[in-house]
Amino acid sequence: MDYISTRNEERTPAKFTDILLGGLAPDGGLYLPSEYPTITSSMLDEWRSVLADGGYSALAAEVLKLFIDDIPAADIEAIAARAYTTPKFASEEIVPVTSLGDGLWVGHLSEGPTAAFKDMAMQLLGELFEYELGRRDASLNILGATSGDTGSSAEYAMRGRRGIRVFMLTPAGRMTPFQQAQMFGLDDPNIFNIALDGVFDDCQDVVKAVSADAEFKSTYAIGAVNSINWARLMAQVVYYVNCYLRVTSSNDEKVSFSVPTGNFGDICAGHIARQMGLPIDRLIVATNENDVLDEFFRTGNYRPRPASETMATSSPSMDISRASNFERFVFDLTGRDAARTADLFGTKVKEGGFSVSAAELAAARDEYGFTSGRSTHADRLATIKDVHERYNYLVDPHTADGIKAARDAQAADAIATPIVCLETALPVKFADTIEEAIGTVPPSPARFEGILDAERHVTDLPNDVAAVKDFITTSIDTTEV
């Protein structure tokens, strides 16, 4: 299996373990397989047995083997077994799937140590990093940005691991108290929290700027855990397969997915699974008031917003106006035209955005199966309250966005297939919004008792690439890993 950059016209191939540690491609593009592997009906039959007999970790190993040919199969199985286990995950099924009713299902992605879907990829990424760094006798300095859940998931996955430091940028004052406590409460010497004076998109821009400095990146062994890292998406493909197998009994059945998204990472994994041949009917892009992606799938216009127009909402992990992973989908949409993709995302986005043709927009909807929806604060409150009363089930604000978009799609498109709404996080992480919706605070799992009382460990920095670089180099020089 070879990997290529979305901006590399020559399609220079790379191997999995090289892009695992590198993150962003040297040309500024994102890595994808040179060709997507194929999921056949016989494979799905086999995977049904694998899931039933060996559980989620065994299924994960089989899917990962399709993408990785430079790690021995036995080692992939051991890595997956270490990543997906209890009590690290609260459920033995790792990703249970339950029916709400009315054609809606929930894929529970919040059973991990930080109660967010990001744990599904991060726990695997931690094992992969430690494995490959051990083989190379090397170290890695991970630089990431988070709008809420990526940071804590990454830090919990990497804390205490030999040869790894984590530098995580957060938008100052933009996360919930619970999210901040999960991150800033960690005092591990290899974890560095940075509160940047800006919004998430500013944090993401700094990460990209540092990663684009090839000399700095090489000198200080800078790696990535944001969804620009291919291994994140690869791990997320697994739970689409898991959810499909749990909802269906026959490979003739199709399933749709509604996915809350701001950075297009979670749903991009669904796009990849669909391209591989997983019988997915529709992929529903669920956005909040920061509706750049919804606007694209309605109009064909991709118009990223500046920080001044990025709203702070009650589903804060989706307060994103420049979706990094969208480049991967557009690369496929344009027939894998690297030169055009480089122009669109390297030039046009900086100039305010771009538009695709009417034929390409139709292909996004018909050939690739996308539709989209938008949710407001009032919609979230109403959905949380209705789902709680109707189904006796409590959802977080982001998952509420997904359910709202799923219901709208059912009404507008008469979608007959089951819709799996992918859960984003446990409601406890957004207690104020939940209380506003139903009048009471959500229950807190015992494992999070006292988390809000922990001492905070965080450094405030200006929205400046040079300042972040200085902090990284100083921290590397003064800490051992």
∠145-214-227 over CA atoms, to 5°? 30
Instruction: Name the DSSP class of 288.
Output: -
- Using an 8 Å Cβ cutoff, are 255 and 316 in contact? no
Residue 321 · residue 309 · CB < 8 Å? yes
Task: At 219, list the tokens.
Answer: 């000198």
Q: What angle do CA 424, 200, 189 make, to 5 degrees?
A: 85
Question: Tokens in use for 36?
Answer: 């997507």
Give buried/exposed letters for 241-256 (b at 16+ CB in 10 A, else e): bbbbbbbbeebeebbb
H helical segments located in 319-430: 326-333, 338-343, 358-366, 377-391, 397-413
What are the φ and ψ backbone dihedral angles of 226, each rounded to 5 degrees? -65, 170
The residue type found at 134 is G
Question: Which residues are identified as catalytic?
Answer: 118
| Selection from 362, 384, 359, 358 nearest residue 371 by Cα | 362
Q: Which residue has the tokens 């701001």?
A: 262
